[in-house]
Amino acid sequence: MSLDVAYSLEIEDFIDADKAYEFYWSGLITNKKAFICPGDNCNAQVTCANIDEETHNMRVVPHFRVYGDHGENCEVFNKVPLKILEVITSEGNNDKKSVDLSVVDSFFLTRPDSYYDVKDKKNNIEEDVSEKRSYKSKSIEYNIKQTGFISSIYSVRTTVSRFLRYSADRTVGNRIINISGSSIPYPSFFKLIWEQDFESLPDHSLIYYGWAYVDRHENGYKVKFKKRLKNKLGVLLPVTLFIGDKLIEKYPIKKLVTKRISSISSMSKPTAFVFIYGKPRLYKSPTTSKEYINFDLYNLDMVDVNKDSPMPKKK
């Protein structure tokens, strides 16, 4: 049986599998089996499967799996909606209300400063775990519903993971992602780079993706997509982005990025399947006057580099 969230014994909080994956690679979570069921007074062991897969084969996304016996009053065991409900503060006052049934995810371009702040890690179930969990459930940031759940997304990696999960359960057509106040259907949020006219691309940012060459340079990695975009004269222009060492060094989960991108660039044919959130921009080289198209990368959360294509095959 799979769950949308579980209670982490190490950080003493409810967490979804995507965030557990990020916390694992940042070092805040060290044991993929240190979770328990989020149900009421239930201590059934939960494992976060695939949390330690650095290659991140997203066809098998990180997810929670329950082992052992549930408590008699556990909502999961009794197949009733969990008591964990998200509450939001109404703008302009302190009234709280439950979020209505929804399938909207919210994508934010920066993480809050407190995202990786946790208490001292614990490794075992303590006597007061039920009390701590009960307290946390009153301020939980997730809305668990039978149709899915709402949570904040801060990375392209998590967005792709959600897209694949929704594609697998055939709900992707009903899923919406909200960014900067605009709601976009999930399938429309992704665009394959495939020799389109540059001028015809949307004015707003999207997640662009495709196969690319990854080459190591003195101060980072140059990513050059295999497919190009056309300028207004029909000339195919290279599409690139640069992942700088300084950007990697200050990234909280640089361990994951470093292992992935360094192993790809060292291959005899250094190619990767790359996702990048942004808006492609037309540039002209000051030395050669040649035009090229580039994505300006300011945050490593906005790019994801994979050895293989995780995208579902079209039938």
| Backbone φ and ψ of 276, nearest 5° | -140, 125
Q: Where are the alpha helices (DSSP H) in 64-200?
A: 75-78, 129-137, 156-168
Split into its structural domains, the chain has a count of 2
Contact 305, 274 (CB under 8 A): yes
As given in the structure block, the two tokens for residue 242 are 């640069």
What does the pLDDT read at residue 186? 94
What does the pLDDT read at residue 253? 87
Q: Which of 137, 168, 187 is the last residue of a domain?
A: 187
59 and 85 inside one domain: yes
What does the pLDDT read at residue 96? 34
Q: Which of 140, 156, 187 is the last residue of a domain?
A: 187
Q: Which of 166, 187, 208 is the last residue of a domain?
A: 187
CATH classification at residue 293: 2.40.50
Contact 239, 225 (CB under 8 A): yes
Does 120 reside within a domain?
A: yes
What does the pLDDT read at residue 73? 79
**Amino acid found at 108:** F
Does 315 reside within a domain?
A: no
What does the pLDDT read at residue 119? 60
What does the pLDDT read at residue 125? 47
50 and 26 inside one domain: yes
The stretches in the chain having pLDDT less than 50 are 56, 84-102, 121-125, 135, 138-150
The DSSP secondary structure of 260-298, one letter per residue, reads: HHHHHHTSSS-EEEEEEEE--EEEE-TTT--EEEEE---
The parent domain of residue 154 ranges over 2-187
What does the pLDDT read at residue 120? 55
66 and 131 inside one domain: yes
164 and 202 inside one domain: no
| Backbone φ and ψ of 130, nearest 5° | -65, -40
What does the pLDDT read at residue 181? 87
Does 313 reside within a domain?
A: no
287 and 201 inside one domain: yes
The DSSP secondary structure of 129-155, one letter per residue, reads: HHHHHHHHHTS-S-EEETTEEE-EE--
